[in-house]
C-alpha cells in the first residue's frame, strides 16, 4: 500500500511539474504548435504524408499565424477540400516551400489561384519544404506513373542538390544520388496518433521537439554531408601553397577554383535535368520548367544564374523545352516600400498574388 502511495506521489509530482512548465511556456515563452506532415519514403525522400491534417503555426513579433493543411493520396497538399479532384486531367506541381504555400491559406497561395483560373485541370501540389532537384527527381521516378499527370509544373531549385552534396558522377560516368539516411525516430513516430495530438496541443512538446531538431545531426530538411577528411587534408596542403603567394595571385587562384567548381556543378545539374526531362517524357507528361525569379540575381548563386541563362543547353534533344522565367515580371511588379514577405520569410499573400499574375500570363500559351 505504501509503495502504491509513493508511486502515486511520484506521478502526481511529475504531472504537476509538467503542468507548471506548460503554464510558464504559455504565458512567457509560447511555442508554435506545429504538427508533422512529412514522411520518409523508400528512397529516403521526405515527402508530404498521403492523408490527414496537420497544424502549422508561426509566432513572430508582429505576426501570429495558425492554419491547418490537408493532405491527399498523391502526397499532395489538398486545396479547396479537393473540389477539383474529379477533373480528368491533372497538373503535378513540384517545388519547395514557396510552391507548397508555406503558412498561407489555400485561397492565398498562387497554386490555389491558378487552380481557380484553370478549372478544367486538377492541380496536384506535391511540393514540399526543402525539396531539392534530386528529391523531385526521385519523387517523379517513383510516383509519376501513379499520378499520370498531363502536365508537370516544375519549379527549379538548382542549389540544394549541390549544397547537400546529394549528386555525383560515378565510375560509369553516370549521375548518382546520395540518398538520405533512414530516420528511425521519425519512422517510429509516423503512426503514433497520440504523439501528434500532444505535439499540436502542448507547448512543452514543441520545446522538446525544437531541442531535438537543433541538437540532432539528422536535420532532415536540408542536411549537409560532412566533408571527407582526406579531401580536407588536401585542401590544407593547397592552402599552404597559396599562403606563399601575393594577394593578387591568391585572388586569381581563388577565382580560378570557383570557376572550375561552377563548371563541375553545371555538369552535375545538366545530367540531373536530363534525367528529370527523360522521366517526365517516359511518364507521357509534358513538363514545364519554371524559375520563380523571386530573388535578385545578386542574391542568387553564380551557378543558379548560369543555369537560368543557359537553361535550354541542359538538354541534348530536338524537343522543344518549355522554360518560363518570371525574373523580369518579378522586378517590374515588385514596388519599393511594399512588403511581399511574411515576417517568417516566405512570400505572403501579396507576393503570391504577383507570382500568380505573372505565371498565369505565361501559362496560357501551354495549358490547353
The mean pLDDT of 246-267, rounded to a whole number, is: 82
Residue 368 placed within a domain: no
Residue 113 and residue 11 share a domain: no
Is the model's pLDDT at 267 over the cut of 70?
Answer: yes
Residue 338 and residue 211 share a domain: yes
Residue 41 and residue 69 share a domain: yes
Strongest mean pLDDT among 214-218, 254-258, 259-263: 259-263
Residue 41 and residue 26 share a domain: no
Residue 307 placed within a domain: yes
- For residues 8 and 157, the model is more confident at 157
Residue 192 and residue 70 share a domain: yes
Residue 18 and residue 165 share a domain: no
Parent domain of 196: 31-363
Is the model's pLDDT at 264 over the cut of 70?
Answer: yes
Expressed in percent and rounded to 5, the helix, strand and coil fractions of the chain are 50, 15, 35
Identify each DSSP E strand in the chain by its residue range. 38-40, 46-48, 53-59, 64-72, 76-78, 89-94, 121-125, 151-155, 167-169, 175-177, 286-291, 322-325
The mean pLDDT of 186-205, rounded to a whole number, is: 85
Residue 59 placed within a domain: yes
Number of folded domains that form the chain: 2
The mean pLDDT of 99-112, rounded to a whole number, is: 98
Residue 244 placed within a domain: yes
Residue 105 and residue 6 share a domain: no
pLDDT in tens, 338-366: 999 999 999 999 999 999 999 999 999 99
Residue 215 and residue 147 share a domain: yes
Candidates 158, 142, 53; CA nearest to 92 is 142
- For residues 209 and 74, the model is more confident at 74
Residue labelled with grid coordinates 519554371: 290
- Contacts with 277 (C-beta within 8 Å, 6 or more apart), sequence order: 287, 315, 317, 321
Contact 123, 114 (CB under 8 A): yes
Residue 349 placed within a domain: yes
Predicted pLDDT of residue 49: 96
Residue 97 and residue 22 share a domain: no
Predicted pLDDT of residue 334: 92
**Alpha carbon distance 309, 325 (integer Å):** 10
Residue 113 and residue 16 share a domain: no
The mean pLDDT of 203-215, rounded to a whole number, is: 81
Alpha-carbon distances of 259 from 223, 233, 361, rounded to whole Å: 25, 22, 36
The CATH number assigned to the domain holding 148 equals 3.40.50.1110
pLDDT in tens, 11-38: 778 778 778 888 888 888 899 999 999 9
Residue 161 and residue 245 share a domain: yes
pLDDT in tens, 132-172: 999 999 999 999 999 999 999 999 999 999 999 999 999 99
Predicted pLDDT of residue 239: 60
Residue 179 and residue 197 share a domain: yes
Is the model's pLDDT at 94 over the cut of 90?
Answer: yes
Q: What mean pLDDT, rounded, does the chain reach? A: 89
Contact 292, 330 (CB under 8 A): yes
Residue 119 placed within a domain: yes
Candidates 102, 53, 107; CA nearest to 79 is 107
Of 44-53, 182-191, 259-268, which gets the smallest average pLDDT? 182-191
Predicted pLDDT of residue 223: 47
Amino acid at each position: 500500500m505504501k509503495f502504491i502511495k509513493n508511486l502515486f506521489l511520484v506521478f502526481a509530482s511529475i504531472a504537476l511539474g509538467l503542468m507548471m512548465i506548460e503554464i510558464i511556456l504559455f504565458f512567457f515563452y509560447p511555442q508554435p504548435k506545429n504538427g508533422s506532415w512529412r514522411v520518409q519514403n523508400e528512397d529516403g525522400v521526405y515527402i508530404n504524408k498521403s492523408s490527414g491534417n496537420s497544424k502549422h503555426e508561426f509566432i513572430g513579433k508582429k505576426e501570429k499565424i495558425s492554419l491547418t493543411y490537408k493532405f491527399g493520396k498523391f502526397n499532395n497538399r489538398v486545396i479547396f477540400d479537393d473540389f477539383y479532384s474529379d477533373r480528368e486531367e491533372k497538373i503535378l506541381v513540384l517545388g519547395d516551400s514557396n510552391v507548397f504555400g508555406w503558412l498561407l491559406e489555400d485561397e492565398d497561395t498562387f497554386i490555389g489561384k491558378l487552380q481557380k483560373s484553370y478549372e478544367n485541370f486538377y492541380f496536384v501540389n506535391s511540393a514540399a519544404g526543402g525539396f531539392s532537384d534530386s528529391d523531385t527527381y526521385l519523387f517523379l521516378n517513383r510516383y509519376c506513373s501513379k499520378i499520370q499527370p498531363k502536365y508537370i509544373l516544375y519549379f527549379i531549385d538548382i542549389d540544394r542538390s549541390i549544397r547537400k552534396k546529394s549528386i555525383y558522377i560515378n565510375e560509369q560516368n553516370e549521375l548518382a544520388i546520395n540518398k538520405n539516411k533512414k530516420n528511425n525516430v521519425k519512422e517510429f513516430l509516423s503512426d503514433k496518433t497520440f504523439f501528434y495530438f500532444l505535439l499540436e496541443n502542448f507547448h512543452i512538446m514543441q520545446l522538446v521537439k525544437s531541442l531535438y531538431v537543433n541538437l540532432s545531426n539528422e536535420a532532415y530538411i536540408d542536411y549537409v554531408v560532412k566533408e571527407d577528411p582526406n579531401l580536407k587534408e588536401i585542401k590544407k596542403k593547397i592552402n599552404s601553397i597559396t599562403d606563399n603567394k601575393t594577394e593578387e595571385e591568391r585572388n586569381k587562384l581563388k577565382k580560378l577554383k570557383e570557376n572550375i567548381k561552377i563548371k563541375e556543378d553545371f555538369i552535375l545539374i545538366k545530367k540531373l535535368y536530363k534525367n528529370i526531362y527523360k522521366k517526365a517524357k517516359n511518364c507521357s507528361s509534358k513538363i514545364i520548367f519554371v524559375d520563380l525569379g523571386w530573388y535578385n540575381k545578386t542574391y542568387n548563386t553564380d551557378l543558379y544564374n548560369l543555369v537560368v541563362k543557359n537553361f535550354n543547353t541542359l538538354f541534348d534533344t530536338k524537343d522543344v523545352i518549355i522554360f518560363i522565367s518570371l525574373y523580369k515580371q518579378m522586378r517590374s511588379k515588385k514596388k519599393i516600400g511594399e512588403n511581399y514577405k511574411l515576417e517568417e520569410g516566405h512570400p505572403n499573400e501579396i507576393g503570391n498574388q504577383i507570382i500568380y499574375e505573372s505565371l498565369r500570363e505565361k501559362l496560357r500559351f501551354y495549358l490547353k
